[in-house]
Amino acid sequence: MALVVNLDVMLAKRKMRSNQLAQLIGITEQNLSILKNGKVRAIRFTTLEAICKHLDCQPGDILEYVGDRLEQE
């Protein structure tokens, strides 16, 4: 997919663990892992909002459009 989820980068910047974030935004660690690995098919606005709130960031910090770059790599 041409969209990359940079959640692990933001987690590292905020020095927060995955399980902590999962607990804060009210999803399971398994679902957060799916999100981090980019296997996710869709993301709810409520989830994105909660992530941005707790990581104090913008949606653009989490999601990045890479176009054909990823496929070329």
For 8, the token pair is 């692990």
Residue nearer to another protein on the CB measure, 26 or 67: 26
Binding another protein (rule: CB under 8 A), the pick from 4, 16, 24, 27 is: 27
Rg of the Cα atoms in the chain:
12
In the complex, the smallest distance separating the C-beta of residue 72 from another protein, rounded to whole angstroms, is 25
Q: For residue 3, what is the enclosing H or E element? A: strand 3-5
- Interface pattern 31-70 for another protein (x via CB under 8 A): xx-xx---xxxxxx--x-----------------------
Task: Tell me how far apart the alpha carbons of residues 39 and 34 are, in angstroms, rounded to a whole number.
Answer: 5
